[in-house]
Amino acid sequence: MRKQLRPPLLLRRERELVVPDASAELDLWELPAGLIEVHERGEEGVLECARRETEEETGFSLPKGDFARLGVPVYLSPGLCAEKIHLVKVRVPDHREAVEAKGDGVVEAGSTVAWWPLSECLARADDGTIEDAKTELALRRLRAELERGG
C-alpha cells in the first residue's frame, strides 16, 4: 500500500460538494498504479507498466514475467471517463528487500509505503481508511482468487 497526496481534495475547496465528504484527510492509501505509456502496447505493455510502477512507487524490482492479470479490465466511471483499469498481481518474496522508492513526479514526493497483510488491507477498506475504488476491487479480487486456491 502507498499513501500519497490526495489532489482532488485540494481542488474541492473551491466548490461546495453536493454530498459532503466526511474525510478531511489530505492523503490517500492505494496500491501502486499508473498510466500505460504510449510505447507499452497490448498485454506486454500492461505487465511492463505494472512492473515499472511497482518499482517506482515501492522500490521493489521484480521481473515482468512475475506479474499476471487479476481478472478482467474495468471502467470505474463509464459515461464520464474513458479510463479502463487493468488490475495486475505479483507475489513479493520479501518486502524487506525493497530499496527506497524513487517515484517519478510530484505526486509520489513524500509518499509513504506500507506492507500490510491482505486481511488488514480489507479491514481498512471496510472502515474507510482505504477510499480508492481500484485498490478495493483489486484487494477483493485477490482474496477471492486465493480462496479458490489461486
pLDDT tens-place string over residues 87-99? 999 998 876 666 6
Spatial distance between the Cα atoms of 115 and 124, rounded to a whole number of angstroms: 13
Tell me the Cα Rg of the chain.
16
DSSP three-state, residue 68: strand
Write down the residue that cell numbers 476491487 correspond to.
Answer: 137
Of 5 and 11, more confident? 5
Kindly report the backbone phi and psi dihedral angles of residue 112, in degrees, each rounded to the nearest multiple of 5, phi listed first. Answer: -120, 135
Q: Is 133 exposed, middle or buried (0-12, 13-18, 19+ CB in 10 A)?
A: middle
Contact assessment for residue 29 and residue 135, using Cβ atoms and an 8 Å cutoff: yes
User: b/e per residue, 11-21, with b = 16+ CB within 10 A?
Assistant: eeeeeeeeeee
pLDDT tens-place string over residues 37-91? 999 999 999 999 999 999 988 888 899 999 999 999 999 888 888 899 999 999 9
